[in-house]
Amino acid sequence: MTNIAKLQSFKFYMQIAGTVLAISLLSAHAASSNETEELQLTITGNIQSENGAIYFSPGDMAASTPTDIVTSSPWTSGKTVFRGVLLRDILKSVDAKGTVLKASAVDGYTVEIPISDAEDFDMIIAYRLNGVALEEDVYGPFWIIYPYDSDEKLGQEKYHARSIWQLTKLVIE
């Protein structure tokens, strides 16, 4: 094989290697984009947004003014510290206009929550549990938490049903 033939063969293999690398990088980027989308809270509906939606990541939530709720709940043992952002503050930040939130989880579970709950109770969209980020496959990325111990009526099943975990979407109606 001549030097020119060897050089052409080498260039051919390098082009193939480059193509394989590019495909691998694109696949990895697509996978990480899908993971990132799942870790976001998407807010749509009657809000003020040029794009029709506003997105909050756990980092965005952590950069906001945190609120801790120390309460017992049907899903945890004893008093638990939930850290999050007041739902009323999030609704205010997106200029929400409506009376109902449709909250949806990763698995498709959806519940309607009166927006008046956010005004009547210091409920939060939690992103931490006892100082640890919510696990994606357990309760994360976000969990709506009421201050259950602060008001006897929050012990009712209707409030427990509204405490949706693995929250990824809010639609304001």
Residue 27 buriedness (CB in 10 A; 0-12 / 13-18 / 19+): exposed
pTM over 0.85: no
Average pLDDT on 122-135 reads 96
pLDDT at 21 over 50: no
The rounded percent of the chain whose pLDDT value lies above 90 is 72
Q: Provide the CA 129 distance to its chain's centre, in angstroms.
A: 14
